[in-house]
Amino acid sequence: MAREKSQCHYHGHIDESQMSQAQPQRSNFHSALNGTKEVIGWLATELREATGNSEMELSDETALWEQLVQGHEQICTGLQGGPTIFAVPIPEDRCPCERPELRTIRGQSQKAK
């Protein structure tokens, strides 16, 4: 019998390190994301910003990201030399977020612009 997955949301993390050294941590938490569309939208926005190409086509990536979100899997993307962009699934009943006000601002990047 398949085990039912609990409800979860995603935490968006951006690490300026290169992909081989980056780790999602509370110190690089930027957004709380709820639902597939928010996760995909946030990843696409951050990746486009990192590349400096706001018109970059990401249809292959978004199809893969959708599958990963549906499976409650961690997503890691970015540029080889940095930044590294993570979307990390967190079960609602085990969220370690110490800043609950960020959880109410779903999909909004909290980094200084």
Give the Cα separation of 79 and 43 in Å (integer): 13
Paired with 16 in beta bridges are none
d(CA 31, CA 66): 18
What value, to the nearest 5°, has the Cα angle with vertex 4 and ends 70 and 13?
Answer: 45
Pairing of strands 29-33, 75-78: unpaired
38-56 pLDDT, tens digit each: 999 999 999 999 999 999 9
Q: Is 55 left (phi over 0), alpha (psi -120 to 50) or beta?
A: alpha
pTM: 0.77
Look at residue 29 in the predicted model and tell me its pLDDT. Answer: 85
